[in-house]
Amino acid sequence: MTSSVDCIVPSILDIHRAAERIVGWAKQTPVMTSQGLDRLSGAQIYFKCENFQRTGSFKMRGASNAILQIPDALCERGVVTHSSGNHAAALACAAQRRGIPAYIVMPHNAPLAKRETAAGYGAKIELCDPTMAAREEAWRRVHAATNATLVHPYDDSAVIAGQGTAALELLMEAPDLEAIIAPVSGGGLLSGTAIAAKATLPNIQVFGAEPEMADDATRSFRSGQLEPLLSSNTIADGLRATLCQRTLNIILAHVDDLQTVSETQIIEATKLIWRYLKIVAEPSGAVPLALVLAQPSRFAGRRVGLIVSGGNLDLERLPWQM
């Protein structure tokens, strides 16, 4: 397993090996379609429903792939990470399954459901201020005290390879896609998706979708260098992290374009998924659909795969009611 200090990029072979490695740890999630949403969008959409994944998001894929590659000699020390929620729950679940401790740093504004899920798997939770600087400082402090292995949410080639397995599954079920869209935060899912998609279908277009209120990835894509996250006050709480150099490099090499969507568009897309697919998707997972609906001229008449990244939210406190 790689650490956050290197910049190793996983290959399609790494993603195929990850798919074999995580059998029994992560589910093969369903791909859903909707005639109603096809009519609304003008596209033929295939939804890869990672909200049905263990712990409720795609993060179980990368966390499992990373956990399974930790040497036995290091397991007693456990693992440490920082996360706004979904990676926290996934890493806690994978760590419990392998029988090792998990130390999780979470921002205090992370949804209660995500905090409770991670704690339910036995993770030791430490809350911090909702900034990347606070997260980094907190996990480094925990690491110094425990010497646990860092499993970064996205700056880790094993994690990226694991996330890419979702696109592999989608392309097996819908092998003639013309485009695939993933939400982008730290870039692990989009990076893995892009590597898997371009290696499988070289002519496919890969797009990243991001909230306007957390648009560092889009600005970084335009400038070709890491740009700071100026604001993260978005309803899509799972998309508040920033790219790292590794994920930016992959995105620049393999992604065709990044585009942003508004908070209103994200809310509408979330409600449409609930209405037409009859499933619970969190706002972060609806961002790709929001992009399709916002740019009909780009996607109309095309076969488009969307990664619905997760379905974890507080049902007593829906994001659009806050």
pLDDT in tens, 114-129: 788 889 999 999 999 8
pLDDT band at 1 (very low <50, low <70, confident <90, very high): very low
Closest CA to 66 of 17, 136, 132, 117: 17
Dump pLDDT digits (tens) for 199-249. 999 999 999 999 999 999 999 999 999 999 887 789 998 898 899 999 999
The answer, yes or no, to whether residue 4 has pLDDT greater than 90, is: no
Any idea which fold 12-56+157-321 has?
Rossmann fold (3.40.50)
pTM to 2 decimals?
A: 0.94
| Residue type at position 312 | N
Burial class (CB in 10 A: 0-12, 13-18, 19+), 73: exposed
pLDDT tens per residue across span 132-188: 788 889 989 999 999 999 999 999 999 999 999 999 999 999 999 999 999 999 999
Domain pair 12-56+157-321 / 60-150, same fold: yes
Could you tell me the fold of the domain covering 60-150? Rossmann fold (3.40.50)
Question: What confidence tens digit (pLDDT) does each residue in 274-289 have?
Answer: 999 999 999 999 999 9
Residue 321: exposure state from Cβ atoms within 10 A (0-12, 13-18, ≥19): exposed
Write down the domain spans for the chain: 12-56+157-321, 60-150
Mean pLDDT of the 249-272 span: 97
Cα distances from 27 to residues 30, 124, 248, 318, in angstroms, run 9, 25, 28, 27
